Amino acid sequence: MSDPRDIVKHSGWIAADVPTEPVTLPAVLVEPPCGVKELMTENLVVNMGPQHPSTHGVLRLLLELDGEQIVRGEAVVGYLHRGIEKLAEHRRYNAVGTLMDRGDYVSGIMNELAFALAAEKVGEIEVPRRASWLRVMMSEINRLASHLVWYGTMGLDAGAMGQFLYAVRDRENLLDILEDVSGQRMMFNYVRPGGVVNDITTTAEAKLRTFLKTIDGYMEEHSALLGGNEIFQGRMRGVGIVTKEMAVAFGITGANLRASGLSFDVRRDRPYAAYDEMHFDIPVASEGDCYARYLVRMEEMRQSIRIIRQCLDGMPEGDHMGKIAKVFRPPAGEAYAAVESPRGELGVYLVSDGTDSPYRMRYRPPALYALQLGEAMLPGLLIADAVVSLGSLDFVLGEIDR
Amino acid sequence: MSIWGTGILKGLAISMRNMFRGPITVQYPRERVELPERARWAVEMKYDEEGNHKCTGCYACERACPDYIIKLDITTDEDKNKHIDAWNYEIGACMMCGLCVEACPFDAIRMGHDYELARYNPAELKIVLLEDTDVAKPKRKERPAAPQAAPESPATEQKEASDE
Amino acid sequence: MSPVLVAILRVLAAVGLMLMNGVVLIYMLRKVLGHLHVRLGPTELGPAGMFQTTADVLKLLTKEDILPTRVDKVLFFLAPGMVFVPSLMAYAAIPFSPTWIAANLNLGLLFTIGILSLVPLGIVAAGWSSHNKWSLLGGMRAVAQQITYEVPLLLAALPPVMLAGSLNLADIVRAQGTVWYWLPCFPAFLFFLVSGLIEANQTPFDMSEADSELVAGFATEYSSMKFGLLFLAEFSNTFLFASLMVTLFLGGWHLPFVPDSIVPAIGLPVIFMVKVYLVIFCLMWIRGTLPRVRIDQLLQLGWKILLPASLAWIMVTAAGVKLFPMIFGGVR
């Protein structure tokens, strides 16, 4: 990765920091067939620029290509930096949720939840049980919506257009439910320190029940359309392999880690917000290629549906907001809270100094480490493989750049 | 060939089935989706049956707004009567978070359902919701409970007590 | 009428057909893809959006023709022509009905496939002259895939020739009066389908313009009518491969179980066109559903699987034609 101080401007490449040891290419490219003189070839430096249909956000990839194969790749980020962590130092606690929504904009509830949990730890606020269950239900609805976006864009990266529209059709129902409960389809501002802002409405419950009747059939169709497709399997099997050691070394969490064989899920291992009362399974795969990540996420979608059903049927009575001051001034201290976002372990480290806005809020974006891993695994891949691998890592630039 | 190609054929059957399900398109602007009650769009002033506004000029919304979009111009006469010169609202910069509506103790504003806010002239993106009117008498009343909300909890009294 | 006038009229008819095809096919593609994807296609202009393509063509005609500074001017100017002209010439030997053929060549099949193999030359010229690395990649991929699949294409087209005993496309259709050739030559039908999809640059094999990787591939730097010509040539190629498939395997102008005599002479081209459009609908259905194959997998498929398989099927057909003349019908 480039020098983090250069987060906005890129200091130029093929310059002083070119590694001196030669890059080793796979043998198939190095040995020419017998009798043929070696051709003088030059590597092509291409820019998969910030505006590209396939990079999930404004990501710039500098690629050095030998024909179709990538020799070296570098990711340049910072095009979406808005200063969320700095702005949080000037907002009240109930307004920081509006900032956190805009980090990983595909799964806003979980961002707000991470911050709310950290603030509750610092301020020692008690959250009512119903609020915890509501948080879990909204988180799982949001996880399903986020994975549907991943599923659709995975199809688009591989070249198929239909899957995206079918995923969006299902996502529209979920966004309708979220709009009914919180007021907006994407920037929810729903989870606050202390609980949630509004209780669930009867119309939202009715919409959710209608949705749950048909989603199982649609999930079958989704998995048959993409995963069952032999062309897609040929693109994904054996591509972009991430070993367990690599994943742990890069700090990967979430579905990427579980697809490499390590079973770690924040919801089960460090439970928060009523997840200890839910029954769900954690899918794990061992190959670590793109197809394994695909299968893990499809299964996670089904488990999310299971959790949503449990939440709907077993929702306890109670308040939706705990006892918290209108202008929240927690005592001085620090706390770290993590949630399982669709991209991995999303953590918020909060330092409070007793005033009504945080002193420092650090947002640990799981997608940043996934992108680092993606960048490290680029050499040796073809361009088409690179597009598919980066898509299967499921990162969102809003989270990486903050 | 039959074993290798069945996934592809099944996929083709699924997309043909979706073709017969019909489009889900809502042809905007001829048809519009009905917004739920809680949908948060542009801030609107609430008026009671006689057509009076309820704003008392307490500045709670201005303090609550994270982006400093609301600006109240209020003059106070000698007999402590407040007069709203302008209730400025930069609708072009508003992110519709709803914190101002939550903060208002007198139920004077609400999040409206108007989302067609694009204008040709950028000057029209700064609007004035109230102009040159006296403040309303402060009838401190509870905000109406959200539909199907839990029963009133001691938390709300705590919120009132620790107000600034 | 003088033969020159007749020839000119035929050429004009082919040009007219090509343009009309382009307009209809683009509209059909957008509508079919739209409905496959649970949305509507164009709806605004005209009833059900029928005049959308006309509006698009007018828009392309009136756009500014941008010439980037460092392109190879001669090749950049000629490349759309090099793609468009062979595509237009290939209409010559397609038999729309026993009498409606622009040029009744005895080597019709060879001529058509030979002319269509000039299209990759134009594509690589477009990609190379654009002075854009992404276009270059697109052009290279196109050349690799289309040259690879020229041979399986012709080999897959040979079994119907063996059964009919002639390279004349009209004769091949006439020989399918009793049984259409897709049944006895089913593997050749599938190989031709795959090779045809590749030659026509359609998904799942449209790597040269993979829009999620290369933006628009070899046609990125083109604007206005040059882009229009490239675009039109792509749809024209699709029509040509569909009509070759109908001619060779699906019975040309014959109706399924009904003898030709009850159909008026004007109805035969209509039947042909309906069949071609049905085949194109199936191609669009495939396009809207399947993901893209990777370029090296495609080349492996071509050289290692399709080429030997089509050679093997030719040997089987040859043996069958000699041993079972009654089952395989045909002129021989």
Q: Which of C34, C39, C289 sits opposite B15 (nearest CB)?
A: C289
Chain A residues lying within 8 Å of B5, measured CB to CB: 230
How much of chain C, in percent, has pLDDT values that exceed 90? 4
Closest CA to B134 of B68, B66, B77: B77
Q: Is A352 left (phi over 0), alpha (psi -120 to 50) or beta?
A: beta
Average pLDDT, chain C: 83
Using CB atoms, list chains with 3+ pairs below 8 Å to chain C. A, B
pLDDT at C210: 56
| DSSP assignment letter at A287 | S
| DSSP assignment letter at B123 | G
Chain B residues lying within 8 Å of A223, measured CB to CB: none
- d(CA A354, nearest CA chain C) in Å: 50
C215 at the A interface (CB within 8 A)? yes
Is there a contact between C209 and A164 (Cβ–Cβ < 8 Å)?
no
> Per-residue pLDDT for C298 more than 80?
yes
A9 at the B interface (CB within 8 A)? no
> Strands across the sheet with B82-90, in order?
B70-76, B82-90, B126-134
Tokens representing C223 are 């604007």
- C133-164 and C307-323 are packed helices; what angle lies between their axes, rounded to 10 degrees? 10
Mean pLDDT value of segment C255-261: 75
Beta strand residue intervals within chain C, DSSP E: none
Counted across chains A and C, CB pairs separated by less than 8 A come out at 81
Q: Is C273 left (phi over 0), alpha (psi -120 to 50) or beta?
A: alpha
pLDDT at B164: 36
Return d(Cα A194, Cα A123) in angstroms, integer. Answer: 10
In sequence order, what are the residues at sequence separation of 6 or more whose Cβ sits closer than 8 angstroms to the Cβ of residue A4? none
Return d(Cα B48, Cα A270) in angstroms, integer. Answer: 51
> Per-residue pLDDT for C247 more than 50?
yes
Residue of B17, B40, B41 for testing the chain A interface, max A β-carbons within 10 Å: B40
Q: Angle at CA C189, nearest 5°, toward C168 and C115?
A: 45
Residue A339: what are its φ and ψ, rounded to 5°? -125, 165
Which residue of chain C is at minimal alpha-carbon distance from A153? C212
Q: How many CB atoms lie within 10 A of CB A115?
A: 29
Tokens representing A400 are 């990486």
Tokens representing C173 are 């259709």
pLDDT at C107: 87
Is there a contact between A268 and A303 (Cβ–Cβ < 8 Å)?
no
| DSSP assignment letter at A382 | B
Residue of B1, B9, B15, B27 for testing the chain C interface, max C β-carbons within 10 Å: B15
Question: How many Cα neighbours within 13 Å face the side chain of C166?
Answer: 17
> Per-residue pLDDT for B163 more than 60?
no
Q: Which of C34, C288, C290 sits opposite B8 (nearest CB)?
A: C290
Burial A216-239 (b: 16+ CB within 10 A, else e): eebbebbbebbbbbebbbbbbeeb
pLDDT at B160: 40
Question: How many Cα neighbours within 13 Å face the side chain of A148?
Answer: 24
C144-197 per-position pLDDT tens digit:
888 888 888 889 989 888 888 888 888 888 888 777 888 888 889 989 988 888
pLDDT band of C221, cuts 50, 70, 90: confident
Contact (CB<8Å) C213/A165? no
B34-83 per-position pLDDT tens digit:
888 888 898 888 888 888 888 888 888 888 898 888 988 888 877 777 88
Is it true that the peptide bond before B23 is cis, omega within 30 degrees of 0? no
> Per-residue pLDDT for B141 more than 60?
no
If one compares C201 and A201, the residue with the highest pLDDT of the two is A201
Low-confidence ranges of chain A (pLDDT < 70): 1-41, 51, 53-55
Return d(Cα C60, Cα C75) in angstroms, integer. Answer: 21
This model of the complex carries an ipTM of 0.82
pLDDT at C332: 44
Chain A residues lying within 8 Å of B154, measured CB to CB: 323
Q: Which of A165, A231, A234 sits opposite C38 (nearest CB)?
A: A165
Return d(Cα A10, Cα A302) in angstroms, integer. Answer: 42
Q: Are strands A69-76 and A60-66 parallel, antiparallel or unpaired?
A: antiparallel
Return d(Cα A268, Cα A300) in angstroms, integer. Answer: 13
Instruction: Answer positive or negative: Cα dihedral of A126, A128, A129, A134.
Output: negative
For chain A, positions 188-217, list CB contacts with chain B under 8 A: 189, 197-204
Strand partners, A70: A65
Is there a contact between A62 and A70 (Cβ–Cβ < 8 Å)?
no
pLDDT at A41: 65
A162 at the C interface (CB within 8 A)? yes
Considering only CB atoms, which residues of chain C are within 8 Å of chain B? 34-40, 43, 190, 285-286, 288-290
Contacts of residues C17-23 at CB distance under 8 Å and 24 or more positions apart, as own/partner, are C17/C91, C18/C87, C18/C88, C18/C91, C18/C232, C18/C236, C18/C239, C19/C232, C21/C235, C21/C236, C21/C239, C22/C53, C22/C231, C22/C232, C22/C235, C22/C236, C23/C53, C23/C54, C23/C57
Return d(Cα C230, Cα C119) in angstroms, integer. Answer: 10
Q: Which range, A15-29, B110-124, C129-143, has the best average confidence (pLDDT)?
A: B110-124
A143-194 per-position pLDDT tens digit:
999 999 999 888 888 877 888 889 999 999 999 999 999 988 888 889 989 8
Q: Which of B15, B40, B111 sits opposite A162 (nearest CB)?
A: B15
B15 at the A interface (CB within 8 A)? yes
> Strands across the sheet with A44-48, in order?
A44-48, A60-66, A69-76
How much of chain A, in percent, has pLDDT values that exceed 90? 29
Is there a contact between B44 and B109 (Cβ–Cβ < 8 Å)?
yes
Tokens representing C292 are 């893209």
Instruction: Answer positive or negative: Cα dihedral of A48, A50, A53, A57.
Output: positive
For chain A, positions 270-299, list CB contacts with chain B under 8 A: none
User: 3-state secondary structure string, C182-236?
Assistant: CCCCHHHHHHHHHHHHHHCCCCCCCHHHCCCCCCCHHHCCCCHHHHHHHHHHHHH
- d(CA C284, nearest CA chain B) in Å: 11
Contact (CB<8Å) A159/C203? yes
Residue A355: what are its φ and ψ, rounded to 5°? -90, -175
Residue of A326, A355, A356 for testing the chain B interface, max B β-carbons within 10 Å: A326
Contact (CB<8Å) C288/A383? no
If one compares B101 and A67, the residue with the highest pLDDT of the two is B101
Return d(Cα B70, Cα B94) in angstroms, integer. Answer: 9
